[in-house]
């Protein structure tokens, strides 16, 4: 008797090592017993076709043990009595500058305006529930910087700036999962990153470094074009002749201070737009060619989109599958949104910034009166607009995606992950043409590239304005400011990084530059 059967086979994570063993044995034409172990070097998913492919790059160990330790050794030593290097800011650039100083035998003294990761939580709660922004402690400022409570994505294209693997290994050394060493798009998760950050802090303190929280730098004491000291908000003055400036892209007071002191700055192009939020199952169904019920082996689906509109790029930024939208304002009277994901990426929503390139030399003629700070002032006005459109609180202005594109008011909004809440607003008429018209055309194009992306089930939420700094702090080949001896602009705040890993690498480079000649 013959029966035709339709069988469904489910594959579990724990079965993959055995499958890799079988495939390696066949590929190498050797017995499985001769393979003493397999080490995964890289894994990725190719979901471009209905047949989803899992790609693994592996090392196969034949009749020899699999090494259990990393080839990277982090040689930290007691530097409590060593020469000091002052570091302003304790985000990725500041943290890795401090760690590198210790390795090289110098004492990092870190000055951070915000609080440690534990104490920051209360201020984040105040933003979400009470709509009050502590201007020194929020989603951008505090231990670990903007990345600590807004995702922990580690993907970088900055492969030529330094040893990327070294940064990843150091994160694992400080408690991150070793999966970040093999994932094509590594991610720690906002729920796991605070522990890694606090472990880095403990390393710095253990070997004699200093970290001073709630310590805002308000002035640089400069004589003969060289840094002599730092003025603090509490009135104290610290002698300092090597200063790494790693304050992040939202420390506007630093830009104003440098401009007031006539220290050279440059206007820099940047990008602004909105966050778009879909139910995750819609993105899953598009990317995995399924009904939205993905296999347990498949992570929440992500996407990357780009389209040219009138000589400007419209593109996705900081895409967060299974994530949340969070309020990233650094002052009351402004609304800024950002995205993040927990380590499991198991939230019901997917969100991404969809932003438009702003050419600072061509697009802002009305802001020329602000000189090098024209991009910053444009950014601020955009955020004030969002504040008023949202209802003069941290409630964010929002519109259904299709209504925004078609120029209609949204009578109702979709459910959202954004805790402060949404307020329906006519963003299609509020946004300046420079951004709004390009976003509308971009969303139409994205709907063509991803069938189902353009849907009334998605909200757009304003505004995504802190993609990068609108100001560049120049530096010479030796990473020192061209006018001020002893000042080393660093990371995203200086305009030299675009994420956790590139900022960390720049922090290491600035540490090496700052100690040169001491």
Tell me, what CATH number does 507's domain have?
3.50.50.60
73 domain residue, yes or no: no
In a domain? residue 404: yes
pLDDT of residue 11: 60
Q: Are residues 304 and 182 in the same domain?
A: no
Closest C-alpha to 89, from 226, 212, 260, 268: 212
pLDDT value for 2:
41
CA distances from 418 to 283, 355, 476 (A): 18, 19, 42
413 and 503 part of one domain: no
* 134 and 239 housed in the same domain: yes
Residue 13 resides in a domain:
no
* Beta strands, E only, 63-154: 84-88, 107-111
Residues 282 and 342 reside in one and the same domain: yes
Other CB atoms closer than 10 Å to residue 362's CB: what's the count?
10
CB 478 within 8 A of CB 67: no
Instruction: Say if residue 465 is preceded by a cis peptide, omega within 30 of 0.
Output: no
Are 255 and 283 in a shared domain?
no
pLDDT tens column, 219-259:
999 999 999 999 999 999 999 999 999 999 999 999 999 99
| Residue 270 host element (H or E) | strand 270-279
Chain position carrying tokens 């006519």? 426
Residue carrying structure tokens 């990233």? 328
Same domain membership, residue 354 and residue 489? no
**Co-location of 162 and 184 in the same domain:** yes
Residues 252 and 106 in one domain: yes
The answer to the question of residue 369 being in a domain is no
Helix residue ranges, H only, 142-268: 164-173, 193-206, 252-260
Whether 25 maps to a domain, the answer reads no
Give the DSSP letter of residue 338. E
pTM given for the model? 0.93
Question: Hey, what are 215's tokens?
Answer: 């310590």
Tokens of 274: 């909105």
Q: Which domain holds residue 100?
A: 84-266+478-515
Residue 5 within a domain: no
The pLDDT score that the predictor gives to residue 272 is 97
**279 DSSP β-pair partners:** 349
Residues 449 and 319 in one domain: yes
Residue 9 has a pLDDT of: 44
Name residues whose C-beta falls within 8 Å of residue 135's C-beta, 6 or more positions apart in sequence: 141, 330, 331, 332
Answer yes or no: do 114 and 139 share one domain: yes
Consecutive H or E run containing 53: strand 53-62
Q: Which residues pair with 314 in a beta bridge?
A: 307, 356
Q: What is the pLDDT of residues 254-309, one digit of tens each?
A: 999 999 999 999 999 999 999 999 999 999 999 998 887 787 788 999 999 999 99
On whether residue 8 sits in a domain, the answer given is no
Cα–Cα distance between 254 and 488 in angstroms, integer? Answer: 14
Q: For tokens 């029966």, what's the residue?
A: 3
Instruction: Count how many domains the chain has.
Output: 3
**What H or E segment, with its residue span, contains residue 507?**
helix 500-515
Long-range pairs for 4-11 at CB < 8 Å and ≥24 separation? 10/295, 10/296, 11/295, 11/297
Residue-level pLDDT at 224: 97
pLDDT at residue 17, as a whole number: 86
Cα angle 47, 48, 53 (rounded to 5 degrees) comes to 40
Task: Indicate the DSSP class of residue 126.
Answer: I
pLDDT in tens, the chain (518 residues): 343 434 344 567 778 888 888 988 888 898 989 998 888 888 988 888 888 888 889 899 998 888 887 889 998 999 999 999 999 999 999 999 999 999 999 999 999 999 999 999 999 999 999 999 999 999 999 999 988 886 667 876 655 666 899 999 999 999 999 999 999 889 898 889 999 999 999 999 999 999 999 999 999 999 999 999 999 999 999 999 999 999 999 999 999 999 999 999 999 999 999 999 999 999 999 999 888 778 778 899 999 999 999 999 999 999 999 999 999 999 999 999 999 999 889 999 999 999 999 999 999 999 999 999 999 999 999 999 999 999 999 999 999 999 999 999 999 999 999 999 999 999 999 999 999 999 999 999 999 999 999 999 999 999 999 999 999 999 999 999 999 999 999 999 999 998 899 999 999 999 999 999 78
- Note whether 36 and 118 are same-domain residues: no
Query: 260 and 404: one domain?
Result: no
- Beta bridge partner(s), residue 111: 88, 212
pLDDT for the residue 71: 85
* Sign of the alpha-carbon torsion through 122, 128, 129, 135: positive
Q: Which residue has the tokens 């939020």?
A: 277
- Is 391 within a domain? yes
């Amino acid at each position: 008797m013959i029966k035709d059967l339709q069988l469904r086979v489910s594959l579990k994570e724990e079965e993959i090592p055995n499958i890799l063993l079988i495939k390696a044995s066949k590929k190498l034409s050797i017995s499985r017993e001769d393979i003493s172990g397999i080490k995964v070097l890289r894994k990725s998913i190719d979901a471009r076709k209905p047949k989803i492919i899992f790609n693994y790059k592996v090392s196969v160990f034949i009749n020899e043990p699999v090494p259990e330790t990393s080839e990277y050794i982090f040689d930290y030593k007691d530097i409590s009595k060593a020469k000091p290097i002052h570091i302003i800011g304790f985000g990725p650039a500041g943290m890795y500058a401090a760690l590198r100083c210790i390795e090289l035998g110098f004492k990092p003294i870190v000055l951070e305006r915000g609080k440690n990761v534990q104490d920051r939580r209360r201020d984040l709660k105040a933003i979400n529930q009470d709509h009050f922004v502590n201007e020194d402690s929020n989603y951008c400022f505090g231990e670990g910087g903007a990345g600590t409570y807004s995702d922990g994505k580690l993907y970088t294209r900055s492969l030529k700036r330094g040893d990327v693997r070294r940064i990843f290994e150091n994160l694992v050394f400080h408690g991150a999962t070793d999966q970040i060493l093999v994932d094509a798009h590594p991610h720690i998760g906002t729920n796991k990153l605070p522990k890694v950050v606090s472990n880095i802090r403990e390393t710095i303190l253990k070997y004699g470094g200093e970290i001073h929280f709630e310590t805002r730098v308000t002035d640089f004491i400069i004589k003969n074009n060289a840094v002599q000291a730092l003025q603090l908000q509490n009135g104290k003055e610290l002698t300092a002749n090597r200063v790494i400036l790693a304050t992040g892209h939202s420390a506007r007071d630093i830009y104003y201070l440098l401009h007031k002191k006539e220290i050279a700055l440059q206007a820099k192009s940047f990008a602004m737009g909105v966050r778009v939020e879909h139910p995750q199952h819609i993105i899953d169904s598009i990317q995995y060619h399924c009904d939205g019920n993905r296999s347990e082996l498949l992570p929440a689906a992500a996407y990357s989109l780009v389209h040219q509109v009138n000589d400007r790029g419209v593109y996705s930024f900081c895409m967060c599958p299974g994530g949340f939208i969070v309020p990233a304002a650094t002052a009351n009277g402004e609304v800024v949104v950002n995205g993040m994901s927990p380590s499991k990426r198991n939230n019901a929503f997917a969100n991404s910034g969809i932003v438009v390139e702003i050419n600072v030399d061509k697009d802002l003629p009305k802001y020329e009166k602000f000189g090098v700070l024209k991009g910053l002032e444009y950014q601020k006005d955009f955020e004030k607009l969002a504040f008023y459109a949202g209802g003069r609180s941290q409630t964010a202005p929002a519109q259904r995606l299709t209504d925004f594109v078609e120029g209609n008011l949204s009578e109702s909004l979709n459910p959202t992950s954004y805790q402060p809440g949404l307020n329906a607003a006519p963003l299609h008429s509020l946004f300046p043409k420079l951004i709004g018209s390009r976003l509308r055309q971009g969303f139409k194009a994205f709907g063509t590239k991803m069938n189902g992306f353009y849907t009334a089930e998605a909200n757009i939420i304003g505004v995504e304005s802190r993609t990068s700094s609108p100001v560049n702090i120049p530096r010479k080949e030796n990473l020192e400011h061209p006018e001020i001896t002893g000042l080393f602009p660093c990371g995203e705040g200086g305009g030299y990084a675009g994420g956790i890993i590139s900022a960390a690498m720049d922090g290491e480079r600035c540490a090496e530059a700052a100690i040169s000649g001491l």
